[in-house]
Every structure is written in structure tokens, then in C-alpha cells.
Amino acid sequence: MKRYMKVLGIVVLLAGGSAGWALFRPERLWVDARVNESFPAAASPSAAGSPAPTAGVLATGSFHGVAHPGKGTAAVHRLADGRRVLRFTNFETSNGPDVHVYLVAAADASDSATVTRAGFVELGELKGNIGDQNYELPASVDLARHRAVTIWCKRFSVNFATAPLTSTSGAISSTNTNQGGNAS
């Protein structure tokens, strides 16, 4: 009976340890995920006879740390075909489990509560905690409303870092297709 209890105890310990490892993914605290995406090429506008949108930078901002250090630049670009892309350059933050990129409906997010209270649009999983990377913006995203980029850990509801976005010469007001879009 004692041997059975020891074996059962070891099995429970191993199962609990494996579940804990899978949940917390502690190796991500010291293993960096580097990415180096090039700037996306834009196809020509598909609608014949319609004027091509003006390509260029719509908004920029610098990352600041919140719960973790953060640095680099976030910029929203409009491509020649009209798509909008969020690009991180010289980006760096801590790695972690289940980390995503959000556009937040606030001017800045210096804490985690602001993100959940203001609402956000998720752009996808963070591709890497270091390096240049691109995220396509849905056409419905209102950049006049969603004015900050946040690196968010879904598993623990923690804001790692944020970049408040500033419009470049009023470019944002003319890019929105949905004035009420909040897909939080």
C-alpha cells in the first residue's frame, strides 16, 4: 500500500508539474523569439479607374514599458493598395506565454486596467519579442478611436508595453471606414 501511494504521489506530482509548465511557460522568460520581417509590398489598387490611395505613414509612437520593459517604434502605414499595416521597428520587450498585439481605444495605456476598460481590437499573436514585424489592420478599425498599441499577455491579463500613436498631419481622420468599431 505504501508503494502504491508513493507511485501515485509521483504521478500526481509529474502531472501537476507538467500542467504548471504548460500554463506558465517559464522558459519564455529567458528565451527570446527574434523576428525580422521586411516591410510588406503592396499590390496595385484593384479597382480600375479609382484613384490610388496615398501611401505613407498615418501614425507613429514609441513603446514604453508597463509591466515589462519595452522599446522600439510602432507605425501605421497605408500601402499603395489601401491596406493598413502596423509595423514594429527596433522592437523589444520581455517574452511570455500567450502574448498578443492589441490596438487600444485610449490615448495611452500605462496600466492593465486601461486596456480592459477602454476596449481593444486584437491584431494577433506577437510574432517575436525582439525585431521588426508587421500586423495587418482590419478595414473596420477606427484609428481616431484606437490610438495606442499594447503588447498584452492574455493568460495573465497583463499589459507588457504600450506605444501611444500620434497622427502624422491629420492623416488618421481620413482613413477610417467604421466610426464605431470596437471589437473587444
Q: Give the helix, strand, coil percentages of the chain, each rounded to 5.
A: 20, 35, 45
CATH of the domain at 63: 2.60.40
Count of other CB atoms within 10 angstroms of residue 94: 20
Locate 147 and state its grid cell.
490610438
Query: What's residue 16's pLDDT?
Result: 56
- Domain membership of residue 63 (yes or no) is yes
Q: What domain range is 78 assigned to?
A: 53-174
- Do residues 12 and 108 lie in contact, with contact meaning Cβ atoms separated by under 8 Å? no
- Domain membership of residue 31 (yes or no) is no
- Do residues 126 and 107 lie in contact, with contact meaning Cβ atoms separated by under 8 Å? no
CA 83/CA 136 separation, integer angstroms: 8
Residue of 92, 88, 102, 87 lying closest to 152 (CA atoms): 102
Q: How far is CA 122 from the centre of its chain?
A: 7
CA 81/CA 55 separation, integer angstroms: 8
- Domain membership of residue 15 (yes or no) is no
Q: What is the pTM of this model?
A: 0.78
Query: What's residue 42's pLDDT?
Result: 72
Grouped pLDDT means (10 residues each) for the chain, 184 residues: 70 59 56 94 62 86 98 97 97 95 98 97 98 97 97 96 91 46 43
Q: Which alpha helices (DSSP H) does the chain contain, by range? A: 2-24, 112-118
- Domain membership of residue 44 (yes or no) is no
- Domain membership of residue 82 (yes or no) is yes
- Domain membership of residue 130 (yes or no) is yes
CA 41/CA 48 separation, integer angstroms: 20
- Domain membership of residue 3 (yes or no) is no
CA 172/CA 98 separation, integer angstroms: 30
- Domain membership of residue 147 (yes or no) is yes
Number of domains in the chain: 1
Could you write out the DSSP letters of every residue in 2-41?
HHHHHHHHHHHHHHHHHHHHHHH-GGGGT---EEEPPPPP
Query: What's residue 22's pLDDT?
Result: 54
